[in-house]
Amino acid sequence: MSWFYRIYHFALKCIVIFIGIPNPKLHQGKTGLLDAIEALGLKSGDNVLVVTDQVLLKLNLHQVVENTLRESEFVTHYYADVLPNPTIANVEDGLKVYQQHQCKAIIALGGGSVLDTGKLIGARAVKPNKPVTKLKGLFKVLKRLPPNIAIPTTAGTGSETTVAAVVNDPSNHAKYAATDFCLVPHHAVLLPELTTSMPAHITATTAIDALTHAIEALLSINCLKFSRGRALEACRAIFEYLPKAQQDPQNLEARAQLLLASHYAGQAFTRTSVGYVHAISHQLSAQYGTPHGLANAVLLMPVLTWYGERINQQLALIARYCGLTSLDYPVERQADDLLEHIKRLLLDLHIQTTLTEVLPDDAALLAELALKEAHPDYPVPHFMDPSACQRIIKGIAPTP
């Protein structure tokens, strides 16, 4: 089937080349938030749905949005029960609030789970007769969403610029994505001050999530010039500014750079797709509730190691661009230097190498589901077989 997969990948590449993928209008800083809200084109007194979660409400991070909306004379309504791994019920409950108050716009404030939920609420608003389960896959919405803004409070998912929205179906232990150009938010606002209260381990795992996006984008056979440039910039910023943000959580420059890196990585992978790290990670989140960023962080090195010398050229490119190696070294040494740097970074961030919830007996099923997700959708550089996938999963399970 590999030939069929490559034909499919080529078709995806042609879509990017000849049709293109939209970008949100990027706004930065508090004046950027006001600009984005004014750009929604609403009238005084219009109702706006703010999608967020309980943690952000307790931290009072919503107040900057609330104040700006109030100054603009809009009426705010909240749906704030989004789970870390958002469910179909979250989308449907948010839709009820949107419809009940006849909202005219959606502002999603939070991490990737919140931003994805906001996208899907918008999709359901314009497709009221199409359940979330029918939005799975490519181009199932095909209709402009209500005016919307995405405001990330974590520097990792890049959801504020991507064509995808991921949701969990707990009844089937499944996690899947809706993918459509219209799911790209209309406006993205980057506010570094909203990320300073993140715990160190969340800062770490979300940043490694963004790093994974960038690396898997560069590994994709569909990686073109724009994605390559964005992914390399994201890698360089994460390697430079993640340690600074860990050392000083209030460092707004570091926080701003990590948000921009996440944004760039999102722009990269939304054009190239991701790879086996994400394919396996999604199954762990669906089966065990493992946080997505943590799953990616644990899986990144095992998957890169599995590829071996077959991805030396791409890894060496990252190492050179980020100044992590010598230009005089052979490609193999440059690639090894990058892997060693990532390994040290994960160690310095205190990211574990195993996940206690992973059961070796589940490896066969998890591998089957991961490869079903990856094939044919992910334009990976080399294809993984079930036995290799099972070995990776068993390798991150705790030692008996």
CA 327 to chain centre: 32
**Both tokens of residue 35?**
């600009």
Tell me how far apart the alpha carbons of residues 346 and 23 are, in angstroms, rounded to a whole number.
Answer: 31
Per-residue pLDDT at 29:
80
Q: What is the mean pLDDT of the segment spanning 109-130? A: 96
The tokens for 128 are 């009221």
Residue 286 is predicted with a pLDDT of 87
pLDDT band at 138 (very low <50, low <70, confident <90, very high): confident
Report DSSP state, residue 85.
S
Q: What is the pLDDT of residues 344-369, one digit of tens each?
A: 999 999 999 999 999 999 999 999 99
Question: What DSSP string runs through 135-198?
Answer: G-EESS--SPPPSEEEEESSSS--GGG-SEEEEEEGGGTEEEEEE-GGGS-SEEEE-GGGGTTS
- Mean pLDDT calculated for residue range 289-298: 94
In this model, does residue 308 exceed pLDDT 90? yes
Residue 349 CB neighbour total at 10 angstroms: 18
Indicate the pLDDT class of residue 132, thresholds 50, 70 and 90.
Answer: very high
Q: What is the pLDDT of residue 243?
A: 97
pLDDT the model gives residue 30:
75
Q: What average pLDDT is seen over the chain?
A: 95
Cα–Cα distance for residue pair 190/204, rounded to 1 Å: 18
- How many alpha carbons fall within 13 Å on the CB side of residue 46? 18
pLDDT tens, position by position, 140-192: 999 999 999 999 999 999 999 999 999 988 888 778 889 999 999 999 999 99
The edge-to-edge listing of strands for the beta sheet with 137-138 is: 137-138, 174-179, 164-169
Instruction: Give 96's contacts (C-beta < 8 A, 6+ positions apart).
Output: none
Nearest Cα neighbor of 174 from 287, 277, 92 is 287
**What pLDDT, on a 0 to 100 scale, did the predictor assign at position 270?**
95
pLDDT of 175 reads 80
Res 64: pLDDT:
92
For 57-96, the pLDDT digits (tens) are 999 999 999 999 999 999 999 999 999 889 999 999 999 9
Residues 278-302: what's their mean pLDDT? 95
Angle formed at CA 301 by CA 300 and CA 306, multiple of 5 degrees: 105
- Residue 171 has what pLDDT? 84
> What is the number of alpha carbons within 13 Å of residue 368 lying toward its C-beta?
6
pLDDT at 108 over 90: yes
In the predicted model, what is the mean pLDDT of residues 206-234?
98
Could you give the C-alpha distances from 260 to 40, 189, 254, 316, in angstroms and in order? Answer: 22, 10, 10, 23
Q: Is residue 137 within 8 Å of 161, Cβ to Cβ?
A: no
Round to whole Å and give the CA distance between 370 and 29.
Answer: 39
pLDDT digits (tens, 9 = 90+) for 7-59: 999 999 999 999 999 999 999 987 999 999 999 999 999 999 999 999 999 99
Give the model's confidence band at 372: pLDDT under 50 very low, under 70 low, under 90 confident, else very high: very high
Encode pLDDT of 225-263 as tens digits. Answer: 999 999 999 999 999 999 999 999 999 999 999 999 999
Residue 384 DSSP class: P
- The encoded tokens of residue 347 equal 């160690």
